[in-house]
Amino acid sequence: EPSAPPAFCYNKKMKFIADEYKNSRGGYSRLYKIICRKCNDPICLYQKDGPGNLRRMYLDRMFDQTTNHKKKELTCQNNHILGIKITHNEHNESREAYRLFVDAIIKTPVNIKSLK
């Protein structure tokens, strides 16, 4: 059974990115801790814009990561493959992202006001 996930290094000065992508998706954001489902290894903090499931993670929304963005796969420290790198072309935008595999991660909401 996996142990409790290690703590992330939170930054009190961390602020949400507010840009055209956020505005085009409803104008609100949530912050999530992203953790490998298999080993509970922390991956990053991620800003999710708008409603819906987390199916892809845009590189410009990943904070506090240990991920090497030059790799074609998103992996944890134990080399579990969580997703593959894509260029997402939709709504007149082209952005690099990781397409996540089903049930590869655990996402936990983070209250940004409570960051230590």
- Domain annotation for the chain: domains and CATH numbers: 20-114 (2.170.150)
Work out whether the CA dihedral 55, 61, 66, 71 comes out positive or negative. positive
Q: Is the pLDDT of residue 3 over 90?
A: no
pLDDT tens for 65-79 read 667 778 899 999 999
How far apart are alpha carbons 18 and 45 in whole angstroms? 16
pLDDT tens for 15-54 read 556 555 554 555 678 899 999 999 999 999 999 988 889 9
